């Protein structure tokens, strides 16, 4: 220590020398310590003297999913997926064009300049025309040979239970874009993923299964009411998974034409009013709950239309948005029948 001679001089002048006192012992320690040690006094350090630090392994920098290759944040992400990007693939129909938007179409939910596609307000079309035959060949290559009955039974027994930690909940949004990334994340460590469907999409489970297989490239090996098992394939390689840019927020739904009109097609105003009064005074066919399972509703409606002209469903505990979505699906799934859809207390 550089200040050791100064401390000695101060101690000799100020400390009283009493025999057996602590001041005398401190003075003896200061006087006996040689000055040559002060130059070699090591500084205080938390590192242990006997241990040598091991060189750290050079780990590759992990890029977040959906980031641009090479780590360039200004470079847009390119994806070779052969379909248009949408928020929901199973709950948005391309046959119905919106009549307006609640936000400017230039506001892409992927973020400004993050992908090499242009957002149109409802979707981000692919830059090249998709090749269905090429996509089918690639999907067959990844799936490999069909599973035997023993292999299917083993996978079903492993992943079908409710305590499975490889589960994805599918709500009223249906098969969403970001759900595809969740499926591939589960496929890194598991051969199959359990999907539990609730709400409006359960009205048409065939549509849900089609979009899951078409957009993810997997195969449904188990289906029981609202529980699905999606298999990844024999030759699936997590390192060669497709690039899926993530949506940063949920886009506002466009404005579509009115679901229930004042006058139904093919009827006069008086006939429409009379049929609505009949429907309001008739007993409900079934009672729907919020985020329930509506697998058998379409079949019940079709059977009821064989004897009744108007069908009433009790949607008291279902939200207004879900009620409208249910009405759209029932109109599509019930062929050419005209549906007058009512809330229990409010008329749509």
Query: Hey, which bits of 154-283 come out as E strands?
Result: 167-170, 192-197, 219-224, 227-231
Four-CA torsion 208, 214, 219, 222, nearest 10 degrees: 10
User: Residue 217's closest CA among 123, 66, 81, 108?
Assistant: 81
Task: Please count the other Cβ atoms lying within 10 Å of the Cβ belonging to residue 114.
Answer: 21
Residue 346 maps to a domain: no
pLDDT surpassing 50 at residue 338: no
**Do 120 and 225 belong together in one domain?**
yes
Judged on CB neighbours under 10 Å (0-12, 13-18, 19+), 308 is middle
Tell me, what's the pLDDT at 191?
A: 93
pLDDT tens across 170-184, in order?
998 999 999 999 999
Domain count, the chain: 3
In this prediction, residues 35-52 reach a mean pLDDT of 52
**Do 20 and 84 belong together in one domain?**
no
Tell me, what's the pLDDT at 162?
A: 84
**Do 103 and 209 belong together in one domain?**
yes
**Do 23 and 80 belong together in one domain?**
no
Residue 254 maps to a domain: no
Residue 143 maps to a domain: yes
> Which distant-in-sequence residues (6+ apart) come within 8 Å of 127 by Cβ?
116, 117
Tell me, what's the pLDDT at 347?
A: 41
In this prediction, residues 223-237 reach a mean pLDDT of 93
> Whole-number mean pLDDT of the chain?
80
pLDDT surpassing 50 at residue 306: yes
Rg (CA), the chain: 35
**Full DSSP string of 124-182:** B--SS---HHHHHHHHHHHH-SPPPHHHHHHHHHHHSSTT-SSEEEE-TT-SBHHHHHH
Residue 342 maps to a domain: no
Tell me, what's the pLDDT at 52?
A: 57
**Full DSSP string of 166-180:** SEEEE-TT-SBHHHH
Judged on CB neighbours under 10 Å (0-12, 13-18, 19+), 87 is buried
pLDDT tens across 307-324, in order?
888 888 888 888 888 888
Residue 293 maps to a domain: yes
State the residue range of the domain holding 92. Answer: 69-240
Tell me, what's the pLDDT at 228?
A: 95
3-state secondary structure of 190: coil
């Amino acid at each position: 220590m550089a200040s050791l001679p100064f401390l000695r001089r101060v101690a000799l002048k100020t400390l009283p020398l009493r025999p057996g006192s602590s001041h005398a012992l401190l003075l003896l320690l200061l006087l006996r310590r040689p000055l040559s040690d002060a130059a070699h006094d090591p500084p205080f350090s938390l590192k242990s003297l006997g241990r040598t630090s091991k060189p750290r392994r050079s780990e590759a920098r992990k890029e977040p999913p959906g980031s641009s290759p090479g780590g360039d944040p200004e470079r847009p992400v390119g994806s070779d997926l052969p379909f248009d990007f949408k928020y929901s693939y199973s709950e948005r129909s391309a046959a119905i064009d919106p009549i307006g938007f609640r936000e400017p179409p230039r506001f892409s939910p992927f973020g400004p300049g993050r992908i090499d596609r242009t957002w149109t307000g409802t979707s981000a079309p692919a830059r090249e025309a998709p090749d269905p035959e090429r996509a089918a060949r690639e999907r067959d290559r990844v799936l490999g040979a069909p599973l035997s009955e023993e292999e299917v039974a083993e996978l079903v027994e492993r992943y079908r239970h409710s305590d499975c930690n490889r589960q994805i909940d599918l709500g009223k949004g249906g098969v969403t874009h970001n759900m595809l990334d969740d499926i591939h994340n589960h496929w890194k460590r598991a051969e199959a993923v359990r999907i539990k469907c609730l709400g409006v999409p359960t009205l048409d489970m065939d549509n849900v299964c089609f979009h899951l297989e078409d957009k993810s490239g997997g195969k449904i090996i188990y289906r029981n009411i609202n529980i699905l098992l999606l298999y990844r394939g024999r030759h699936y390689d997590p390192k060669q998974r497709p690039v899926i840019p993530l949506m940063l927020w949920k886009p506002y739904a466009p404005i579509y034409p009115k679901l229930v009109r004042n006058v139904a097609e093919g009827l006069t105003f008086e006939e429409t009013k009379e049929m609505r009064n009949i429907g309001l005074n008739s007993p409900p066919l079934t009672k729907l709950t919020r985020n329930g399972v509506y697998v058998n509703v379409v079949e019940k409606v079709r059977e009821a239309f064989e004897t009744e002209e108007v069908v009433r469903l009790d949607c008291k505990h279902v939200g207004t948005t879900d009620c409208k979505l249910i009405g759209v699906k029932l109109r599509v799934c019930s062929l050419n029948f005209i549906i007058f859809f009512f809330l229990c207390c409010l008329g749509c």
